[in-house]
A = this chain, B = another copy of it.
């Protein structure tokens, strides 16, 4: 879902962009007008996240999953370790991909507490062998697990270890301190724009370390040297991302959207917790404010729930095929009214089954 205002603007200027007689999609990525679009999008993202000057912002391809390979290829050597905090299906996928290019070590996996709610182990309980720590390129984690709805709201910092975050489903949803990270990456299709674009934020001193086997089109250093135009970038997605960044600024920036996101999430979790009819299996401290998975007490009602929701105009509530159940994704572009409508439907559906 993209902000309605962004989609309206994009539609209005779809064929005749800035009175050029062409679509922004049709102009060369090397033309002055597109370079201006690209630079403005980068600057707006820098403003929104307060990105320091010693970080490069790259607009690449391959989505989040592409970075599972790109990150170790670019910032680690085959002799080094990548550490992995495994908290759900996305951070798990990163481990097997990294293993092609580095040694890997899983420092901890999500588990359950006494109430059988999912939690992420405290850093004090992680498995951190000294010899591995001394030969580590980075620690990878996913602060917001899209499929599982498990989130880590504060960055897990290890001394002298670069932190790499897959923020595909939570970038721009809450303020972050960029300096906590060596690399942040995000597939665009959740909070930034259309699929096919990936944003990478990388500290400059991590450039220049790519393994010889790194394909040029995913080489961070080449991308940085060529303003992400070493190869033809996904220009239309970049342009749309720029519109989304401007929309976010107009909303008051990341702090303001964070407040709205908290309000939306609280409304939905309150409904789930209040009614025995619904259940979310994540401990409160580790609940995502972007992806809210829940199950019905009686799974035989799943199909009916989804059909009635669809008929009410509430789409895409089916949980990921790997976990089943339901999942409401309430990204930045989802207005409060959308969550209110969902909660209203959920209360009515539960009441009707009594």
Contact flags A205-227 to B (C-beta < 8 A → 1, else 0): 00000001101111000000000
Q: For the complex, what is the distance from the CA of A101 to the CA of B212, rounded to whole Å? A: 10
Given contacts A25-B194, A234-B234, contact A65 B2 (CB under 8 A): no
Interface residues of A in 1-60 (CB under 8 A from B): 1-2, 7-8, 10-11, 14-15, 21-23, 25-31
A66 touches B215 (CB 8 A): yes
* Majority-rule SS of A interface residues: loop
A235 within 8 A of B: yes
Q: For the complex, what is the distance from the CA of A348 to the CA of B306, rounded to whole Å? A: 66
Contact flags A191-210 to B (C-beta < 8 A → 1, else 0): 00011110000000000000
Cβ of A133: which chain B residues have Cβ within 8 Å of it?
none
Q: What number of copies of this chain does the assembly contain?
A: 2
Q: For the complex, what is the distance from the CA of A33 to the CA of B316, rounded to whole Å? A: 12
A69 within 8 A of B: yes
Interface residues of A in 52-80 (CB under 8 A from B): 61-66, 68-70, 73
B231 touches A194 (CB 8 A): no
Contact flags A300-314 to B (C-beta < 8 A → 1, else 0): 000000000000010
Contact flags A112-138 to B (C-beta < 8 A → 1, else 0): 000000000000000000000000000
A153 within 8 A of B: no
* Chain B nearest CB, measured from A96 CB (Å): 8
B7 touches A232 (CB 8 A): no
Interface residues of A in 302-332 (CB under 8 A from B): 313, 315-316, 321
Q: For the complex, what is the distance from the CA of A190 to the CA of B195, rounded to whole Å? A: 20
Q: For the complex, what is the distance from the CA of A73 to the CA of B156, rounded to whole Å? A: 35
B62 touches A62 (CB 8 A): yes
Most B CB within 10 A of own CB, among A8, A69, A189, A234: A234
B216 touches A68 (CB 8 A): yes
B23 touches A70 (CB 8 A): no
Q: For the complex, what is the distance from the CA of A114 to the CA of B11, rounded to whole Å? A: 54
A232 touches B63 (CB 8 A): yes
Q: For the complex, what is the distance from the CA of A195 to the CA of B218, rounded to whole Å? A: 16
Q: Which of B21, B26, B194, B217 contacts A66 (CB 8 A)?
A: B217
A181 within 8 A of B: no
Given contacts A196-B196, A215-B97, A217-B65, contact A315 B10 (CB under 8 A): no
Measured CB to CB, the residues of A under 8 A from B are 1-2, 7-8, 10-11, 14-15, 21-23, 25-31, 61-66, 68-70, 73, 97, 100-101, 187, 189, 194-197, 212-213, 215-218, 230-237, 313, 315-316, 321
